[in-house]
Amino acid sequence: MKGYAANAQIMADVAAVIEQARREGRDVATALRIARVTLAYVSGPNPDPEQAKTLESFDQHLKTISK
């Protein structure tokens, strides 16, 4: 349960960063890049397969919206 609670807190923190960026007038892509860096940091240098898949998907979405 501790791991789940920690992950939930991290996601809440990421959401707060995105919301703060939005309030400061930054574009959504910038806020998402901040979230992506945060998630990569949490995943560490060797993410498990699920984390790696999520990060890859996140990258694809960032590429799509930045076009």
List, as one string, the DSSP characters of 20-62: HHHHTT--HHHHHHHHHHHHHHHH-SS--HHHHHHHHHHHHHH
Per-residue pLDDT at 4 = 62
Percent of the chain residues topping a pLDDT of 70: 88
**Domain layout of the chain by residue ranges:** 2-65
Question: Could you say which residues of the chain have pLDDT below 70?
Answer: 1-5, 67
Single-letter code of the amino acid located at 40: A
